[in-house]
Structures are given as C-alpha cells and as structure tokens.
Amino acid sequence: MKKITFLFLLISTTIFAQENYTISGIVKDQLNGETIYGATIYLNGTTIGAQSNEYGFYSISAPKGTYTLTISFIGYSEQSQEIVLDKDQKIDFEVIEETEQLDEVVIESTESESVNIRTPQMSVTKVQMASIKKIPVVLGEIDIVKSIQLLPGITNSGEGSSGFNVRGGAVDQNLVLLDEAIIYNTSHLLGFFSVFNADAIKDITLYKGNIPAKYGGRVSSVLDVRQKDGNNKDFHLTGGIGSISSRLAAEGPIVKDKGSFLVAGRGSYAHLFLKAAGEENSASFYDLNLKANYALGEKNKLFLSGYFGRDDFNFSGAFENSYGNASANLRWNHIFNDQLFSNASLIYSKYDYDLTLNLFEFDWVSSIKNFNAKYDLKYYASDSFKLDFGVNGIYYDFDPGQINPTTDDSAINFLQLDQKRAFESGVYINAEHKLTDKITANYGFRYSYFNRLGGQSMVLYENDQPVVYNEALGIYESGNPIGETEYGKSESIKNFGNFEPRAGISYQVSESSSIKAGYSRVAQYIHLLSNTTSVTPLDVWTPSGQYVQPQLSDQYALGYFRNFNNKQLSLEVEGYYKTVNNRLDYIDGSNLIGQNTIETEVLNGESRAYGLEMLLRKTKGRFTGWFAYTISKTEQRTPGGSARGPGINDGDWYYSGYDRTHDFSVTGSYKQNDKWTFGANFIYQTGRPVTYPDGQYTYEDLQIASYAPRNSNRLPSYHRIDISATYVPNKRPQNKWKGEWIFGIYNVYNRKNAAAISFGQNRETGANEATRTAIFGIVPSVTYNFKF
Amino acid sequence: MKKIIYILLVTLSFTSCTDVIDVDVPIAEPRLVIEASIDWEKNTIGNEQLIKLSLSTPYFDENNIPMVTGADVRVINENTNDVFIFDDQNDGTYSTNTFIPILNNTYRLEVIENGETYIAHETMTSVSDIDDIYQSTENGFDEDALEVNVQYTDVANIENFYLFKFQKVGDLLPDLIDMADEFTDGNQITMFYERLEDEDINQVEFAPGDVVDIHFYGISKQYHRFMQLLISQNESGGPFSATPVALKGNCTNPNNPDNYAFGYFRCSEVVIDSYTFQ
C-alpha cells in the first residue's frame, strides 16, 4: 500500500502547484475522419506537449497565457493556432495529408516512427500501414507479422511457421490484440500468411519489453493491432487483386462526421499450394473485418469491431481441417472532462480447431474462448504528470479436445478431454512523470490474479509426482495416479497472484538524444503446449493450475536514442536481459495432443535471453528505410525438479529454438518519381538450433538414427533478398478511381533456405540421407490495388 | 494422436520442395546395440530364438555394420528361474532352440560384453487374433489405390498395445506401425496398408500379384512408448514434427548407467501372415 499512497501524494503535489488551464480535443484526418494516434501537440517555445492517444484524444495543461499551439504528424501538414489560455477549452484538429496519393506512396514516414526521445517508454516499435505496404513480400501478400520481423529482436522459425519470437521468447509469450481482442493464432495456411488484412488495419504497436502496466498476461511482448474506424466523410471502396488472395473493403459514414463503418474481406484462391498433389486437394483462407463507430454527443463514442477468419484444408476427402479466430469488441469512450479520458470494453474472442478424418472415421475438435471486460482511464493531471489506471477480468473456457466417431461402425470411441475454466483479473496504475526538463519517468504496477476454476477433477499422483524419473531406464515417465479430486463448479482448484512492477526513465542528454532504462515484470498464466519446431494450428492452450505454474519474466533494458539530420535519421540502440521462470519443457517422447493429463508430459524449466539491438532508420526524403542488427543469446534449462533425475539435456543450459546469434536486415524504399517507387530487403540470420543425429544402428532391418542432445546443432544460415516496384499510372485529379500495380520478386537469388532438415533412410537404396525442406524459392508476384 | 500430426506433415510436404543435401553431423562414440526380439508365433512352440548384437556407427557411414561376437547372452524366466543360454554364432547372432515362452511371465536378458553387463526385463505379451485380411481400394488416402486391410478385435477394458510390420516381398525396408487402444478400446479395428505413387523413391501403387508379409505383435506399454518414438522419429523431420530426442530402450547397464545399450529386449506373441493382391 505504501506505493499507492506515494503515487497519490505525487499527483496532489503536481496538480496544485500552479494555476493551470487545459486544452483537450480529438485529432482526426481531414480527408477521412480517421482519428490519429501519435500526433504531437505542443506549445511553441515550451516543453509542454502531448501525444494523441489511440482514440485521437489529447489533453495538455499549461499556466495562463498566450501561446502558439502546433500540431504535427509527419506525412501531414503542420498546423499552428494562436490561443489565449485563460480558461479550459476544447479544440479538435483535422490534419491534412501532404500527399494525396493512393495509400500514400509516402516519401515521408510518420512522426511516430521517428524516435520519441523524450518519453520513458522504450523497447517499442510503432509502424504505420503505409510503411508496411512498401515492404516487398512473398506473393505480394502484405503481411504485418512478416514485416515486423525485419525489426531488431523479432524472428520466427522461418517461412511456413506460425507466429513470431520476440527477444528469444516463445510464440505463446506474445499477447496479440486485434482491437483489444486476444488473437490466439496469427497465421493462415500454417504460417505462410498472417491473419491481418492490411486494408482494415490502421496501425500496429509492438512492445518488446518495458511493457506498459495496462497490458499483462504474456511475458515476451504485446502486439497491439488497431483496425481502421472507417471513413466518416465519404463512401469509399478499396481493394486489391493478388496472386494469392483478393481483398475488398468498403467504408463510409453512417451519419456524416458522427459515425462510420468499415467492412473488409479477403479470400484466397483455393487449390493454391496443393496442385502438385492432385486436383482433389485444396487449401484456402478468408477473413472478415468489421468496424463501426458512432459519436453520442461530444463526450461519448461507441465502437463495435469484429473479426472472423478461417482456414480450410481438404486432402482428397480423406481428411478435412478447418480452424480460425473469431472476435468481437464493444467499446465505449467517455470523456469525463478535459483531463480524464476513459474507455470501457467488452470483448469476446475464440480460436477453434476442427479436424475430420474420414479416413479413420472420426472428428476432432478443440477450442479456447474468452470473455474479457476492461475499463481503462487516463488522467492528464498536468503537463508533467499523467496517470493510466484501470481494471480488467478475463474468463477463459478451454476445450482441449473432443473426439467423435463419424460413422456408426467407426473403430474410434467418443472421448471428451476435461474442459478447463479460469478467471484472470488485473488492476493497474501507471504514472508518466516529468521530473525535470530532462528527466521523465514512468512507474507503476499491475497486480494480476489468476483463479483456476473447478468443474473438473484433477488426478493425484504418488509422491505428488506427475512425472517421475525411471532410474533404471534413464527416462521420464508418467507418474503413478493414486486417485482423483473432484472440484465443483463453484470451487477453485488453485489461485495465483502476482505483483508486477513496471518502470522506465529517460534522461535527455541533448536536444536530439536520450538515454532510457526500463524494467518490467510480467506474469503469464496460460501456455501453448508445443513440442514441435514450429507451433501448429492444433496445439492446445492450457491454464496454470495445480501442476503447471505461471510463467514469470523479469526484463531489464538500457538504451540510447538519437535523432539527427533534422530528424531525417534516427538511431536506437538497446540492450536487454530477460529471465523467465516456470517455462514448460517437454519430456522425451511427450504426447501433447489428446492428452488429458498434460502434467505427465512436462517439466518445469526456466529461460534467459540477452542481446543488443540496433536500429538505424531514415524516415524522410526520397529514400526511406532502416537497417537493423541484433546480436543475442537465448537459452533454457530444465532440471529434473520434483520428478528427480538429471532433467532435459542433463539439466544444463541449452540453446532454445529461438536463439539467433546474428539477425541482420536492411529494408529500403526509393521514390523515383510520382509513378515509380522501388523497394528492397536483405535479411540474414544465423540458422536456428536443431538436433542432428550423431550415430545410427540397425534395428528391425531399419537404420535408426540416434540423436545428439537437444538443439546442439544449427541449420545453415538464412538469407535472402526481395525487391519490389510500385507503379502508379497517370491519374487525372478528377478521376475518382485510383489504382497501383505492385511487382515483386521474393528471394531473388533463389536461395533454398532450410525450414527444416530431416534425416532418414532412402527407401530405395537404404542409405541415410539428409533432406532439406525449403518453402519458398524465387517467387515473382503481381498485385493490383485500387481505391474508389 | 501422433498419427494426426504425421498426416498434417504429409500435407505440408506437398506445399514445399525438398532436396537431399550434404550435412556435417556430430559423431558419437560407438555403442552396443541389442536387438533381442523374442517373438513367439501364435500356436507354435516358440523354442527357436535369436538375438543380434552390433555396434552403432557414424550416421552417414555406409560400411557394413560391425557385428559383436564373443559376448555372453542369456535369458532367464524370472517366474520359473529357467535359464536359456544363447549360443554365439560368430556372426553377431546368438541363438537357442530350447526357449520356453509363457504368456505374462517376466523374462530377464543378461548380456556380458567387453566386461560390461547389460540387463533388461520384459513381460511376454499376448496378441489378438487377426479376424480378416482383405484388399480394397476405398480405404486409405487414395480411393483408387489398392490397400491390404488387417482386421482384429481389441480386448476391452484393458490397455493393449500392438505393433504391425508390413513388408512387400522384394522391398528393402519394412514399414512399422504402432497402435494403442487409447481411443479404440474394445472395438474391431481395421488397419490398412497402402502405397501411394512416389517417383522420388520409385514407389508405385500395389498391383495384383504383389505379396505383402504381415507381422502383428502384442507388445508391452513400455515397448510401445519406445516404438512410437522410434517410428515417429524415423519418418518425420519437417517443421511440424517434434524435436528429435534420445531413444532409450530397456537394455540398461546398472554399473555404468550412461553406457546403456541401444535396441530393445521385447517378448511378444505374434501373428504372421501374408497377403497376395488379386
């Protein structure tokens, strides 16, 4: 409680220090009425200023006087206005885009992408869709998840692998939010594409560390993706025709300047990849994004957003497979007064997986769903003190698997794995506090509480050991069940509470440079079970409970930030050190799918990661782009613990699958003239740790591989170059139809980057072979985008 | 459920291209390999048994497998204390013709080789009868391809584990399939064996006249765990397969645990049959 008292003391001292007045309002794009996130509003000649929040709201307070107020958001014309500050006032801004082209083949990147050296927030990356759209991509399919991997500290397991890894974290350690709804699987077609339709997305923010207190539940990162609100001035259609999918989005006012809607759809062409396997196989995906908002007076605004996406596979009728995310969010923005902004959200999201194996006459379904209620407030106490605080609660429903026979004479019996329920809640408060003109700090905490609810029985094991080391055979085995405890629906199986302090400080060394330091502790209560190299769509989430502990991470970061050449260039250098406790590791031969007692397959381990990241960006001029380099190390260790025995890899530290010693990328875009823009990427990564055989022997007339310790070898390094050219045909200003062509070549020098190397015996010759799986060689593509 | 993952893996393999490359792999010290498969063909005496000893080699070594001679090999029935000495045939095999198999009895294998003693325990496990063997085209992945079906009935309310070994006469390598009754307890189960065309390895669909040898073993839970891992690691390796791990059998070295032997000591009742496609 001491901390809270201290916080309130701070607030009161800062509030009453001076006689202040407040200016507040909403920043919007003049053309389409979209609210602008991250515009800078400041009083000329002072250090007083603020950034607009995710709903475009800003509030600044200053002593009585006459000022020139300036609003800037690069890519947009700067606006200034004389104001006499002798009372509180409300000023809404409509900013005007500098170039008026189709999806701005922008020369200038946005202000929010150049480094904000003043705020203590670090380890954060904000990317505008306009920048992402310029990055060459495989088959011309714009992909947020792939694009952020060009930034330092972010990797994945290669093409065709789902999700992404942040600073050595696992895929399930990323909190992925689409309009605040949790997205459990970010991939389409087993990882070839991401679920985010570029036409429906406004901006994305990725926190790699120093995670703000308002977020919790995942230990590595937060990817906050916001959908467009929809144009509230005119009706527009945008769309594109690509080699993989086509897109169409419609947006327009519901009531002009009061409310708007957006509906966006994307669908792939079926039979895409599986042609080689015959006409009977197909793979396809589609997405539907919805958004509507309506202002009820000046102080209230309602938002409704939804997402529905699905993947379908059909393998010659022998089996069908379908999975996807669905989410909905109802939000209510309320401005209490010019200093207090609030948002309440009711959110639902679900991920489900369905596999019908006609071949074996059964159907397998699993799902995870959650209901989330959340209330966030921001109090702009004064120029030097702002406070974020709020509460949220998430109810989870886990259905890890159900097997249904699909025919009367199926050999498969009905089976329902135990359904699990949990409630996760959090309360947070965080202050952004300008201590001096040069030093700004943010500090606060989140308290999270997780209640694993009853409604199921839990198996009890001999000596309380769900996994036990078989001394004689030298292997880990399931423990010996000795009974069950039945928990009623109103009972709680296990509770956890965690205090999660978050803090950051920035020291402005000069006008254009600063040093920042940050610390965050984050707890994670639900875990994706996966013992495969890449996570698969059928991996199952499991909550913490009697046997599975919550993951707990501590991350420290230190960085140097600098803008130079009149903000044309920015440099960010960050070092980090991160530890995660209670990271699950899997025993040899673990069986995770269709497993009712997960605790018999896992051991409790820990991981640690450290690295140095460098990002040099050029955000203005004809040539824009960045250069990113990361050197890092990620390891994990799993001792035997209560199961006894040596643990995994003898309980020693070993490379986790996400370790990449070097990760280097350059991406650039050059605007030749109004018609042509060219883009290119180069990516180099150390190969990921894998397990190779270190011997062979004959058994049952087969040559059997014996394997070296886990992850003690590495794949060859990964590298490629992609290029793209965007052509905007001559357009007449009076013509409403605007189109552009994007030509791309992915992996120009056709490097066969290994997604995996497998070892096996050639069935014809009997000789052992190493077989490389390479997903994409050189891939040309053409996409046509239009706006009407 | 591993089967499902394997099937998914098959789909993925159609979406990507693969090629055979040279890879430098680590080389471990050679280790003793014990292939002690006490297979008792149903309705026979089961007196003739063979155990093979060899050494492991570097992964890409294509020389002949070094066989191990001069070892002392015996199996003891722990219920009856009968001792069966396996005679060294000086070619890496050790044999006896006095073995007495008894269902559910526990046997102990002892191998003394190069001063080290290896011990394993296993229970003689029964197998169901095969109800029917027939050919069809409509089962399996491809509705037009021939497959052979083996039908058996699982014994209800007890855990049963099985191993199938299919080998087309003339093929170099057998195909192994492990089965548990976790999801099929007490049911009549049909296992199919089908060939899909694969130009890379000169594989064609089954045709009339092809002969498939069928072995159907009843196996212990522990051996099933071993074979499940062996089989899945033997046929996998794509991005969606599990990280490969050490494969430890039941041949332990109590005095020097790290120097355990590869392979397994199994005691299984087996139904042996063959099918000729019409």
Q: Are B179 and B154 in contact (CB under 8 A)?
A: no
Closest CA to A292 of A350, A247, A235, A232: A232
- Burial of A207 (C-beta count, 10 Å sphere; 0-12/13-18/19+): buried
CATH number of A111-787: 2.40.170.20
Q: Is the pLDDT of residue A583 over 90?
A: yes
Structure tokens at A257: 């300047």
| Residue A662 CA, distance from chain mean position | 22
Nearest CA in chain B to A715: B23
Print burial letters for A435-462: b (CB count within 10 Å at least 16), e (below 16).
Answer: eeeeebbbbbbbbbbbbbbbebebbebe
Whether the domain at B2-8+128-239+271-276 and the domain at B32-125+247-270 fall into the same CATH topology: yes
Query: What whole-number distance in Å separates Cα of residue A440 and Cα of residue A293?
Result: 35
At residue A665, what are phi and psi to the nearest 5 degrees?
-150, 145
Print burial letters for A464-474: b (CB count within 10 Å at least 16), e (below 16).
Answer: ebbbbbeeebb
Q: Which of A163-167, A506-510, A773-777, B267-271 has the lowest mean pLDDT?
A: A773-777
HSE-CB for B11 with a 13 A CA cutoff: 27
Residues of chain B with C-beta less than 8 angstroms from the C-beta of A273: 14-15
Q: Are A152 and A613 in contact (CB under 8 A)?
A: yes
B89-100: average pLDDT: 96
Residues of chain B with C-beta less than 8 angstroms from the C-beta of A321: 8
For the A2-95 domain, the top CATH level (class) is mainly beta
The two beta strands, A492-510 and A540-543, are: unpaired
Domain boundaries, chain B: 2-8+128-239+271-276, 32-125+247-270
**How is residue B158 annotated by DSSP?**
S
B218-235: average pLDDT: 91
Nearest CA in chain B to A771: B20
| CA–CA–CA angle A632, A693, A757 (5° rounding) | 65
Print burial letters for A578-588: b (CB count within 10 Å at least 16), e (below 16).
Answer: bbbbbbbbbbb
- Give the nearest partner residue to B173 out of A277, A763, A774, using CB atoms: A763
**A273 vs B15: CB contact, 8 Å cut-off?**
yes
Structure tokens at B261: 């032997």
Domain boundaries, chain A: 2-95, 111-787
| Residue A164 CA, distance from chain mean position | 8
Q: Is the pLDDT of residue A3 over 50?
A: no
Query: What whole-number distance in Å separates Cα of residue A237 and Cα of residue A249?
Result: 6
Whether the domain at A2-95 and the domain at A111-787 fall into the same CATH topology: no
What pLDDT score does A14 carry? 44
**Between residues A13 and B219, which one has the greater pLDDT?**
B219
Structure tokens at A674: 């109004």
Q: Is A275 helix (H, G, I), strand (E, B) or coil?
A: helix
Query: What whole-number distance in Å separates Cα of residue A319 and Cα of residue A558?
Result: 51
Q: Write the single-letter amino acid at A502.
A: R
Q: Are A327 and A183 in contact (CB under 8 A)?
A: yes
**A761 vs B242: CB contact, 8 Å cut-off?**
no
- Give the nearest partner residue to A532 out of B203, B240, B246, using CB atoms: B240
Q: Is B235 helix (H, G, I), strand (E, B) or coil?
A: helix
Query: What whole-number distance in Å separates Cα of residue B247 and Cα of residue B229?
Result: 7
What pLDDT score does A99 carry? 57
Q: Is the pLDDT of residue B157 over 90?
A: yes
Beta-carbon contacts below 8 Å between A and B: 273
The per-residue pLDDT for range A660-715, each reduced to its tens digit, is 999 999 999 898 988 899 999 999 999 999 999 999 999 999 999 999 999 999 99
**B59 vs A694: CB contact, 8 Å cut-off?**
yes
Tell me what ipTM this predicted complex has. 0.94
Q: How far is CA A628 from CA A116, A143, A553, A664, A782, in A?
A: 18, 19, 25, 6, 27
Percentages helix, strand, coil for chain B (3-state, rounded to 5) are 15, 45, 45
Cβ neighbors of B248 (< 8 A, separation 6 or more) are A473, A474, A475, A588, B226, B260
A224-233: average pLDDT: 91
What pLDDT score does A51 carry? 85
Q: Is A650 helix (H, G, I), strand (E, B) or coil?
A: helix
Query: What whole-number distance in Å separates Cα of residue A90 and Cα of residue A99?
Result: 28
B226-254: average pLDDT: 85
Chain-wide mean pLDDT for chain A? Answer: 87
For residue A205, the tally of other CB atoms under 10 A from its CB is 19
Residues of chain A with C-beta less than 8 angstroms from the C-beta of B55: 697
Cβ neighbors of A9 (< 8 A, separation 6 or more) are none
Residues of chain B with C-beta less than 8 angstroms from the C-beta of A644: none
- Burial of A281 (C-beta count, 10 Å sphere; 0-12/13-18/19+): buried
The pLDDT confidence band at residue A559, using thresholds 50, 70 and 90, is very high
What pLDDT score does B57 carry? 96
What pLDDT score does B2 carry? 45
| Residue B33 CA, distance from chain mean position | 14
The pLDDT confidence band at residue A551, using thresholds 50, 70 and 90, is very high
Most trustworthy range by pLDDT among A231-235, A727-731, B251-255: B251-255
Through-space distance between the first and last CA atoms of chain B, rounded to whole angstroms: 33
Q: Which residues pair with A60 in a beta bridge?
A: A23
Q: Is A351 helix (H, G, I), strand (E, B) or coil?
A: strand
Maximal CA-CA distance, chain A: 92
Distance from the B278 Cα atom to the nearest Cα atom in chain A, whole angstroms? 23
Q: Is the pLDDT of residue A16 over 60?
A: no
Percentages helix, strand, coil for chain A (3-state, rounded to 5) are 5, 60, 35
Residues of chain B with C-beta less than 8 angstroms from the C-beta of A477: 225
The pLDDT confidence band at residue A18, using thresholds 50, 70 and 90, is low
Q: Which of A275-279, A342-346, A528-532, B249-253 has the lowest mean pLDDT?
A: A275-279
Residues of chain B with C-beta less than 8 angstroms from the C-beta of A763: 171-173, 201, 203
Cα dihedral A150, A155, A160, A161 in deg (nearest 10): -150
The beta strand positions in A462-601, using DSSP E, are 467-470, 475-478, 481-487, 492-510, 513-524, 526-529, 540-543, 551-564, 569-586
Q: Is A459 helix (H, G, I), strand (E, B) or coil?
A: strand
Q: Is B7 helix (H, G, I), strand (E, B) or coil?
A: helix
What percent of chain A has pLDDT above 90? 55
Query: What whole-number distance in Å separates Cα of residue B148 and Cα of residue B137?
Result: 9
Nearest CA in chain B to A362: B183
What percent of chain A has pLDDT above 70? 93
HSE-CB for A20 with a 13 A CA cutoff: 20
Print burial letters for A57-96: b (CB count within 10 Å at least 16), e (below 16).
Answer: bbbbbbeeeebebebbbbbbeebeeebebeeeeeeebbbe
Supply the pTM of this predicted model: 0.90
The beta strand positions in A173-244, using DSSP E, are 174-178, 181-182, 187-188, 193-194, 201-207, 221-227, 236-241
Nearest CA in chain B to A754: B18
Q: What CATH architecture does domain B2-8+128-239+271-276 belong to?
A: Sandwich (2.60)
For the B32-125+247-270 domain, the top CATH level (class) is mainly beta
**Between residues B226 and A33, which one has the greater pLDDT?**
B226
Query: What whole-number distance in Å separates Cα of residue A363 and Cα of residue A416?
Result: 12
What pLDDT score does A271 carry? 56
